[in-house]
Each structure stands twice: as C-alpha cells, then as structure tokens.
Chain A
Amino acid sequence: MAVDKETVKRIAFLSRLKIEDDKIEATQAEFNKILQWIEQLNEVTTEGVEPLVSVNDGNITCREDIVTTGNHSKEILANAPQAAYGYFTVPKVIE
C-alpha cells in the first residue's frame, strides 16, 4: 500500500508535525520505502493467530483503587512553559 502526497500531509497533521512543502516528496518516498519493507509480513500466514498485546502472562494485577498521593500542584507545574493561578496556560481555544 503506497501512500500518496495527500496521505503524507494528513499523517503529518494527525502527528501534529509540519512538513515543509519541498520535503513532502522526499518524505513520501522514504515512507513508502519503509512500508514496502514492513509489508514482508504479508508472507506470514497468521490465520487464527491471536494478536500478542502483552508478554506479561497473567502476572499483571490491579492495585486497590485508592488515593495514594496528592497536593502536588506545585511540582506538577514546576516544568510548565507557562502557568498561571495554579494552572497550565494554553492559547485561547474558545472565541
């Protein structure tokens, strides 16, 4: 499945990445080279094979759903590029 230029632009936007217009062709070519390479998986018969999501064999347990920590807003905001009144700030999103 080769991707076209429009798909490259769409994927870039979904990834929230900018590709300069003069780089789109090169990105598309590289993308298709990688996709072509990973498509060798089509040689493998996988009918009836259960997808492997996790290698943990039943050793995952849920901890009790209780509050174990809190009151860390100062630490949470310590690395914020912009913060005010105890909140992260972002560009205005509602007109």
Chain B
Amino acid sequence: MTELTKLTVSETLEGLKNKKFSAIEVTQSYIKSMEANRHLNAYVLETPEIALNQAKESDKRYADGTNKPLDGIPMGIKDLFCTKGIRTTACSHILDNFIPQYESTVTQNLLNAGISILGKLNMDEFAMGGSNETSFYGPAINPYKANNSDTDLVAGGSSGGSAAAVSADICAAATGTDTGGSIRQPSALCGVTGIKPTYGRCSRYGIIAFASSLDQAGPIAKSVKDCALLLNVMAGYDNKDSTSANISVPDFTQFIGKDIKGLKIGIPAEYRPDGLNAEISKLWDNGIAMLKARGAEIVNISLPHTKYALAAYYIIAPAEASSNLARYDGVRYGLRVEGNGLDEMYINTRSEGFGKEVKRRIMIGTYVLSAGYYDAYYLKAQKVRRLIRNDFIEAFKKCDMILTPTSPTPAFPIGDKSMQENPINMYLNDVFTVSVNLAGLPGMSIPMGFSEHGLPLGLQLIGQAFDESRIFQVAATLEQDANFRGK
C-alpha cells in the first residue's frame, strides 16, 4: 500500500473513482509516510485524526456518488494559512498556540472540494526567507542529497516544508504562498512543480499577511496537471479580499495536451548574466530547444530593469511587512511577555517573539517608511516597480510567454556561511523570481533535470496577467519532453 503515496493527484482520483482503493487507505499511507519522514522536518504539526475523519467522509461520498473534485486527496497546508481549530503559527514564536477561529478562503475552497488535511507545513518565519532556515521550528530538509554526500541541503523557501513534503511523498500536494519566489524556488530545489498565479487570482483572506501587494497563494504538486486540478479549486473571486479579481476561472486542465505550435516564447537577455551557473544555463538552452522542436517560436526579448528588481523588492516587501506585523503586540493573540507598562510589554513581546530575519525586515521597513526617507526609498522603489512592470508589458507585445531559469543555483547546504553572514547573498536566490511578483504576473516552476551532483533544477514560465491557461499548456509539453523522474 505504500505505493499509494507515489501516485499523482490525478492518478489517485482515478483510483478512488474506480474503487481500486479507498480514501482511508490513501490517507493511512500518507500518515505512515509522515511518520517515516519526520527527519525532514516538513511538518510542524501533524493532524492524522482530522485527515482520517475527512477521508471517511470522502469514502461515503464515493460510495453514494456525490464525490467532489478533489475528494480523498490528502494535502499538507503551509503554516501561513489559517485553518479553523488547527494551530497556525507562520512558523513564528510570536504566534505560539494561535488557534484560528476561521478558515482561510483558499483552504475552505480545498475543503469544500473534499481534501483531507494531514497537517501544517514548515516555512520560513512569516514567509521571510529563501531556505526555510528562519523557521522557529528549524529548517525543512531537502529530500535530495548531492551524489556521494551526506550533507543536509535546504528545501528552499519560504514554502520549504511544502516542496519537501510533496517531493518526499508525505502529501499528495500542498499549498504554498509566493511573495518573491516562495513557491517557485523551493519547487525547483526539491524537484516538484509549483505555480504562483496572477496577483488577485486566489483570495488572500485568512493567509497571514507578509507583503500584501505581492503575496499570492498557489499549489505545489507532483505534476503540471495536479497543479491545474488544484488551482481550479483554489482560485476564484472572494468578496472578503478586495484585491481578489472578479474574473472567471477556466478549467486549467483543458489546456494540458494542447499543442504549442506558433506560440511565441520570449527569452530575456538579462536573465543570462555573466557568471550564470553553467548547468542552469545549459538547462535553459535545453528547454528552449524543446519548445522550438514543438513548433514554438523563440523570440529574444529585453527586460532592462531586471537588475533593480531585488533592490526594489527589499524596500517594498519590508515596508509592507513592517506595517502588517505591527499587529503582533501581545494583546490580541500569540505570545505576550510582560513588562513595565504598555510600551515595554510591546517591546518585550516583539523582541522575544520575532526571529532575526523578521526583525531585520521590520526595521528596514520602518526606516524606509519613516519621515524624511519615504520619498528617497519607498516612493523610489514604487516607481522602479512600475518600470519593471512596463518592461513586461513591452515584452508581451513581442511574445506570449517567457521562459527563464527558476533559481540561480541548485539546493545548497543548511547553514551556508556566506548566506548566514551576509543576508544579501540569501536575497539573491530570488533574482529570477522576484520581478514576477512586482509585476503581479503568474509564474510556474517545472522540474527539468539534475545538476552534475544529482540535484534537481527547474525552469520558470512567466505568463501575462490571468493567462495561467497557456502556462499550463506550455508547461505540460516541457514536463513531457524533460521526462523528469523525481524521487
């Protein structure tokens, strides 16, 4: 029965519909896998009883023919999504024992579609990080190791637990969120598939806020089709999030298998800087050749402001974070550390509750928003953000979609010295993903191959706003041609 955990979501649904196995059996297999893989630290909370109860309901619905689109699929949920009655901490000490009294819209949509929840997945604290190492619960560990090496590698971040759990078959699929690359980069590092949809596609209601103008939820799964099945359910207008888009959600699975002849694929010159990892560069060339062979037209494009995206992001995201995280004050939820008077209580609570990287970003954000510096930093960054977005608008006059690498390197060792000593080195992991968030566009990472040391590598497809459909169309051909065989 352990083989059940090897199936994709679509294969599992097939088997459930044909009564080859029951939802209870599927869930039990994943619970066993969860127990066997605790060393990966992918889950920060396991909820096997909840999952089994939900699976029991799924089996009833399969029996009487009222089964729903994702009935009986056991999922892991990133710890950033509020789940009613299930502890949710954003992997921060400051939200110790926080039990949401309501359900996030995205998880509610998934529950309405019949999933069962195996538990809450590890992540960087408040989604701030590129390696899952800022989690209060310690890093999630990449299921892959370099050939002939026993060194633990990062799962990427911030959705590191989600990517590791999908990669190691400890859930059929997972939710993630992506503010600067947090779905795509860990997906690439763990050899799985993940899509950050267009800003506004999924409701942010009930997702603990990091940088509200950039945050977006999406699925991480074992295949392109699985991502389509999940996004079908996760996406949709929600009047509880004023930025959620009132735009109809097509059936994304319809675009899988359609040929891509004549589609124009843009290749941005700026994504191949001097010193780009040779393996990544080769992977990219292979991807280009695959699309060409399928009859797509390859177009050279320019996104001239690419090199400024990270700097703009590290003003805008901390600014929004400093404001969003002001709510953690020891009064309404989470940790409270007493002090002499109100201010001291705030200071003691926040100083003990937040980790190093979160504090760093709160302070940067507070500084760039403070009187006298607002124009020089925050306003400047917002102007550069527009230029970055304009680059894409111009590029999409020449092409339908853009192909780039997802991450500049494969997975790196936990505790990497250069990144621990200089946060900017960690920030550089998002160099290929961050522009997409600033422009609000959809982006998907597809596992395409391995480094010479046997570590997974991914490529990214960037689409026009609300054009996830054609991303799925092209991603499915890349998936087929690359024939990536994961763990």
- Give the B-binding residues of A (Cβ under 8 A): 1, 3, 7, 11-18, 27, 30-31, 33-35, 37-44, 46, 49-57, 59-63, 72, 75-76, 78-82, 88, 90-93
Smallest CB-CB separation from B335: which chain A residue?
A: A81
List of B residues within 8 angstroms of A76 by Cβ = 101, 332
Chain B's nearest CB lies how many Å from the CB of A58? 10
Chain B's nearest CB lies how many Å from the CB of A26? 11
Chain B's nearest CB lies how many Å from the CB of A27? 8
Q: How far is the CA of A40 from the CA of B308 in the complex (A)?
A: 7
List of B residues within 8 angstroms of A42 by Cβ = 380
Chain B's nearest CB lies how many Å from the CB of A21? 14
- Give the A-binding residues of B (Cβ under 8 A): 97-99, 101-102, 199-200, 213, 239, 242-243, 245-247, 305, 307-308, 311-312, 314-315, 322, 329-336, 338-343, 345-348, 350-351, 354, 359-360, 362-364, 366-367, 370, 373, 376-377, 379-387, 389, 422-424, 439-440, 465
Given contacts A40-B308, A79-B332, contact A34 B370 (CB under 8 A): no
Interface contact A46-B387, CB-CB below 8 Å: yes
Interface contact A1-B351, CB-CB below 8 Å: no
Q: How far is the CA of A9 from the CA of B377 in the complex (A)?
A: 20
List of A residues within 8 angstroms of B239 by Cβ = 63
Smallest CB-CB separation from A7: which chain B residue?
A: B367
Chain A, interface SS category: loop
Which of A33, A37, A51, A90 sits near B382, CB closer than 8 Å? Answer: A51
Chain B's nearest CB lies how many Å from the CB of A88? 5
Which 5 A-B residue pairings sit nearest by Cβ, starting from the closest? A55-B440, A51-B382, A81-B336, A52-B386, A79-B333
List of A residues within 8 angstroms of B330 by Cβ = 81
Q: How far is the CA of A60 from the CA of B379 in the complex (A)?
A: 22
Chain A's nearest CB lies how many Å from the CB of B84? 10
Q: How far is the CA of A67 from the CA of B42 in the complex (A)?
A: 40
Q: How far is the CA of A76 from the CA of B382 in the complex (A)?
A: 35
Interface contact B347-A18, CB-CB below 8 Å: yes
A1, A33, A38, A62 interface centre (most CB from chain B within 10 Å): A38
Interface contact A34-B424, CB-CB below 8 Å: yes
Q: How far is the CA of A52 from the CA of B246 in the complex (A)?
A: 21
List of A residues within 8 angstroms of B97 by Cβ = 79
Given contacts A15-B363, A17-B350, A50-B386, contact A34 B423 (CB under 8 A): yes
B97, B101, B338, B422 interface centre (most CB from chain A within 10 Å): B101
Q: How far is the CA of A36 from the CA of B333 in the complex (A)?
A: 36
Chain A's nearest CB lies how many Å from the CB of B326? 8
Q: How far is the CA of A35 from the CA of B423 in the complex (A)?
A: 12
Smallest CB-CB separation from B424: which chain A residue?
A: A37
Given A16-B347, A51-B382, 4 more A-B residue pairs with CB atoms under 8 Å apart are A30-B423, A34-B364, A41-B315, A56-B243
Cross-chain pairs A/B with CB under 8 angstroms, 12 sampled: A15-B362, A17-B347, A27-B363, A51-B383, A51-B385, A55-B389, A55-B465, A59-B200, A60-B243, A79-B97, A81-B333, A93-B341
List of A residues within 8 angstroms of B387 by Cβ = 44, 46, 49
Interface contact A93-B347, CB-CB below 8 Å: no
List of A residues within 8 angstroms of B359 by Cβ = 15, 17
Chain B's nearest CB lies how many Å from the CB of A31? 7
Which of A30, A38, A81 sits near B360, CB closer than 8 Å? Answer: A30
List of B residues within 8 angstroms of A31 by Cβ = 363-364, 367
List of A residues within 8 angstroms of B312 by Cβ = 41
List of B residues within 8 angstroms of A30 by Cβ = 360, 423
Q: How far is the CA of A41 from the CA of B243 in the complex (A)?
A: 28
Interface contact B362-A55, CB-CB below 8 Å: no
List of B residues within 8 angstroms of A7 by Cβ = 367
Q: How far is the CA of A93 from the CA of B341 in the complex (A)?
A: 7
List of B residues within 8 angstroms of A57 by Cβ = 465
Interface contact A52-B385, CB-CB below 8 Å: yes
Smallest CB-CB separation from A52: which chain B residue?
A: B386
Q: How far is the CA of A37 from the CA of B340 in the complex (A)?
A: 38
Chain A's nearest CB lies how many Å from the CB of B358? 10
Q: How far is the CA of A46 from the CA of B351 in the complex (A)?
A: 37
Q: How far is the CA of A22 from the CA of B314 in the complex (A)?
A: 26
Q: How far is the CA of A30 from the CA of B360 in the complex (A)?
A: 9
Given contacts A52-B383, A90-B331, contact A14 B366 (CB under 8 A): yes
Interface contact A50-B383, CB-CB below 8 Å: yes
Interface contact A78-B99, CB-CB below 8 Å: yes
Which of B242, B245, B335, B377 sits near A38, CB closer than 8 Å? Answer: B377
Chain B's nearest CB lies how many Å from the CB of A50? 6
Which of B245, B308, B363 sits near A12, CB closer than 8 Å? Answer: B363
List of A residues within 8 angstroms of B360 by Cβ = 30, 34
Smallest CB-CB separation from B364: which chain A residue?
A: A34
Interface contact A44-B305, CB-CB below 8 Å: yes
Interface contact A16-B363, CB-CB below 8 Å: no
Chain B's nearest CB lies how many Å from the CB of A40? 5
List of A residues within 8 angstroms of B383 by Cβ = 44, 46, 49-52
Q: How far is the CA of A55 from the CA of B343 in the complex (A)?
A: 36
Given contacts A34-B423, A44-B308, A61-B246, contact A14 B370 (CB under 8 A): yes
Interface contact A75-B314, CB-CB below 8 Å: no
A31, A49, A63, A93 interface centre (most CB from chain B within 10 Å): A49
Q: How far is the CA of A26 from the CA of B87 in the complex (A)?
A: 35
Which of A35, A41, A62, A82 sits near B380, CB closer than 8 Å? Answer: A41
Chain B's nearest CB lies how many Å from the CB of A95? 10
